[in-house]
Chain A
Amino acid sequence: MPNDAMARDRPRYRTYARTTGKAPTANETAENPKENMGGTPTSLQERHEAPYDLLSARGLTVTFGGETVLADIDLTVRLGRILTVIGPNGSGKSTLLRSLIGAVRPSAGAIRRHPGVRLGYVPQRLQLDPTLPITVARFLSLPRSVPRQAASQALADAGVANLEARQLATLSGGQFQRVLLARALLNDPDVLLLDEAAQGLDHQGAAAFYQRIEQIRRERGCAILMVSHELHVVMATADDVVCVNGRICCSGSPEQVASEPAYQALFGSAPAGALALYHHSPHPPDGSA
């Protein structure tokens, strides 16, 4: 079981000067990497010299064949925050994510991405054509090739060590999701976008997966945007929640959203205890999850 103490000793992939293209300042070069590990979002922001708002949508509207799938969506992905988009099936959650990465062209509104912001995307499902042979190692090096050591470290971090030589097609659903996560992290994202990323994991696996996401946020301070319908776990991990059903029903902190009538109309009122049970504390006990 990976715990925080182990995590502190592993190498980091991030090069801080990358986003701005500037040479590191004296302050950056003097930093001991080990001291960065618990880095708060604020300090990362300083190193980045990047704005707090990395990725935002304003008045985003998407239509497919005359049918409006998303209308007038406003949201902002902020450095160091976990934003969760929830909504029933067919509410346009995945479409929202896909328009944020540029795979869907909005029919109105704008998506603003701070220049140089790097996205890590974990799709809901990856349909592999059986005619395409590809090993895990090769997949991790797409589209940019990564050092072998970084790749195996990323796999180990994601809880799927030593899978490099395996064919992607032979992985189980859970292994596959973790490999996808490892790949997204190798690309050293400023924003990590996860589309129902814990799908295909069992209950325990999903809980561990979300813990891992939170750990990533803590260590790297990157922004995270998650889409999910697994309410209790997701609501517990999130800093901010946006409830989407074609348009934004309500948004705010998990507690705020859970008490909104619009949310309760869609999902019913979750027992308060469920939220409290899973809710993260600011200082999680090391290795005791």
Chain B
Amino acid sequence: MLLDDFMLRATLAAVGVAIAAAPLGCFVVWRRMAFFGDATAHAAVLGVALALALSISIFVGVLTVALIMAMMVSLLSGRGYAMDTLLGVLSHAALAFGLVAVSFVSDVRIDLMAYLFGDVLAVQRVDLLVIWTGTAVVLSAMAWRWSALLTATLNPDLACAAGIDPQREQTLLTIALALVVAVAIKVVGVLLIAAMLIIPAAAARPFASTPERMVLVAAAIGAIATVSGLHLSYALDTPPSPSMVSVAAGLFGISSVSVAMGRWLRRQLGNVLQGHDSTERLP
């Protein structure tokens, strides 16, 4: 039957996460929220502990705690604290508390590694349903508020003048971020969710002239990284989630180097042209 193959399920799950992460990852990069993504993702461990203690679904537990964490950070960010320090404290505190809490509830022996680094090869059909529903919700929300989100990101005052409430847009991003974390925990795990948000977006930057194109390129890079990472992990027997992130990082490296090369080549070409006809470049 369709979806019987675990590799196919893993691939579909990973691509779903990559697509949901693309628009959000771009906003995380544009709004300098990298630490924010980290803190939200790390809080997810606490959500796992909560879910195990109350024996509710991991997805619900993670979504709840990630949402609370994201809201808290979002509220604090307007108060003039040193944000990077505060987020650094919150992010690692959430991780540490989460790990301690999980150790308390593990009368059933749980594989902590599965939550820290994901367990994409164990994705079931119901997980696929959750992942793709989450992806659809995130994408619809982004599409619905796209112009407002973009305006508020460019300049909050411009947004205000156009009748857009920047705070509201920030809240929407916060909720979407928590949703992506909850969806991605099974695929990439807590520790590397932030990487799947940031790396494809950063790699896409040099190839984009508009925000929309950057999101599309980021989605493509994310999808390529996850699919080839999965196959790499199958072939080399390496852990899947770190393999996917490694491929993404490799793509980022290629993107950065190719941009630098392009710039260098253009300068060389310019010099050559100038050498041939010195009047051509003069104003």
Are A133 and B213 CB-contacts (below 8 A) given A126-B155, A143-B147?
Answer: yes
Chain B contact surface mostly: helix
Q: Is A61 an interface residue (CB 8 A)?
A: no
Which of A98-106, A154-162, A232-240 is the contact stretch? A98-106
A24 within 8 A of B: no
The reply on A135 being an interface residue by CB < 8 A is yes
Give the complex CA separation of A134 and B215 in angstroms.
12
Cβ-closest chain A residue relative to B149: A143
Q: List chain B residues, Cβ under 8 A from A65.
A: 80
Can you name 15 A-B pairs with beta carbons within 8 Å?
A101-B157, A101-B160, A121-B161, A123-B155, A126-B154, A127-B155, A129-B30, A139-B154, A142-B147, A143-B147, A143-B148, A143-B150, A143-B159, A143-B164, A187-B162
In the complex the two chains form, what is the Cα distance from A119 to B213 in whole Å?
A: 29
Asked if B256 CB lies within 8 Å of chain A CBs, one says no
CB <8 Å contact, A143 and B210: no
Question: Which residue of the partner chain, among A120, A131, A139, contacts B161 with CB atoms under 8 Å?
Answer: A120
Contact across chains for A133 and B209 when beta carbons are under 8 A apart: yes
- The verdict on A19 contacting chain B, using a C-beta distance below 8 Å, is no
**A-B contacts at CB below 8 angstroms, number:** 71
Binding site for A on B (CB under 8 A): 29-32, 80, 147-148, 150-151, 153-162, 164, 202, 205, 208-211, 213-214
Instruction: List B contacts of A22 (CB < 8 A).
Output: none
Q: Taking A142-B147, A143-B164, A144-B147 as contacts, is the C-beta distance between A131 and B157 under 8 angstroms?
A: no
Contact indicator A134/B154 (Cβ below 8 Å): yes
Scoring A residues 59 to 98 as 1 if CB is less than 8 Å from chain B, else 0, what string do you get? 0000001000000000000000000000000000000001
Known A102-B160, A143-B162: A133·B147 in contact at CB below 8 Å: no
Say whether, besides A138-B210, A143-B150, A131 and B30 are in contact (CB < 8 Å). yes
Given contacts A142-B151, A143-B151, A143-B164, whether A133 and B158 have CB atoms under 8 Å apart is no
Which of A126, A127, A134 is the one whose CB lies under 8 Å from B210? A134
Q: Which residues of chain B have C-beta atoms less than 8 A from A98's C-beta?
A: 157, 160
Closest B residue by C-beta to A120: B161
Q: Is the CB of B161 within 8 A of A132?
A: no
- A-side residues, CB < 8 A to B, are 65, 98, 101-103, 119-121, 123, 126-129, 131-135, 138-139, 142-145, 167, 187, 193
Contacts of B151 in A (CB 8 A): 142-143
Q: Whole-angstrom distance between the alpha carbons of A142 and B145 in the complex? A: 12
**Given known contacts A133-B211, A134-B211, is B157 in contact with A142 (CB within 8 Å)?**
no
- Min CB distance A148 to B, Å, is 14
Contact A132 to B156, CB < 8 A, known contacts A143-B162, A167-B209: no
Closest-CB distance, A92 to chain B (whole angstroms): 15
Report the Cα distance A66→B176, complex, angstroms: 34
The residues of B that contact A127 with a CB separation of less than 8 Å are 155
Q: 20 additional contacts, CB 8 Å, given A103-B160, A142-B150? A: A101-B161, A103-B157, A103-B161, A121-B160, A123-B155, A127-B155, A128-B154, A129-B30, A129-B31, A129-B32, A133-B214, A134-B211, A138-B211, A142-B147, A142-B151, A142-B154, A142-B158, A143-B159, A143-B164, A144-B162
Measured between beta carbons, the chain A residues less than 8 angstroms from B160 are 98, 101-103, 121
For B150, what are the chain A residues with a Cβ–Cβ distance below 8 Å? 142-143
Q: Which residue of B lies closest to A124 (CB)?
A: B157
Please tell me if the beta carbons of B154 and A135 are within 8 angstroms of each other in the complex. no
Q: How far is the CA of A37 from the CA of B100 in the complex (A)?
A: 73
Do A132 and B30 touch across chains, with their CB atoms under 8 A apart? yes
What is the minimal beta-carbon distance from A187 to any residue of chain B, in angstroms?
Answer: 7
A94 to B29, CA, bound (A): 28
Task: Tell me the smallest distance from the CB of B160 to a CB of chain A, in Å.
Answer: 4
Q: Which of B31, B159, B202, B210 contacts A133 (CB 8 A)?
A: B210
Say yes or no: A132 contacts B153, CB within 8 Å.
Answer: yes
Residue of B159, B162, B211 with highest tally of chain A CB at under 10 A: B162
A-side contacts of B211, CB under 8 Å: 132-134, 138
Nearest Cβ in chain B — how far from A120, in angstroms?
A: 7
Residues of A within 8 A of B155 (CB): 123, 126-127
A248 to B160, CA, bound (A): 25
Give the chain B neighbours of A135 by CB distance below 8 A. Answer: 209-210
CB pair B158 A123 closer than 8 Å: yes
Contacts of A139 in B (CB 8 A): 154
With both beta carbons as reference points, the residue of chain B lying nearest to A191 in the complex is identified as: B161
A76 to B89, CA, bound (A): 47
